[in-house]
Amino acid sequence: MAHEEPGSRADDGGHLEGPRASDADRERFAAQLHEHYAEGRLSIDELQRRLDVVFAAQTLVQLYETTSDLPHPGVPLSNRYEPPRSTSRRPGWWPFR
Non-local CB neighbours of 38 within 8 Å, separated by 6+ positions:
none
Non-local CB neighbours of 85 within 8 Å, separated by 6+ positions:
none
Give me the pLDDT at residue 15, please. 64
Give me the pLDDT at residue 17, please. 78
CB 63 within 8 Å of CB 29: yes
pTM of the model: 0.61
Give me the pLDDT at residue 93, please. 57
The radius of gyration of the chain's CA atoms, rounded to the nearest angstrom, is 22
CB 70 within 8 Å of CB 41: yes
Per-10-residue mean pLDDT of the chain, 97 residues long, equals 42 70 95 95 97 96 93 60 55 55
Task: Give the phi and the psi of residue 64 in degrees, each rounded to 5.
Answer: -65, -30
Give me the pLDDT at residue 41, please. 95
Give me the pLDDT at residue 1, please. 40
Q: How far apart are CA 97 and CA 82, in angstroms?
A: 26
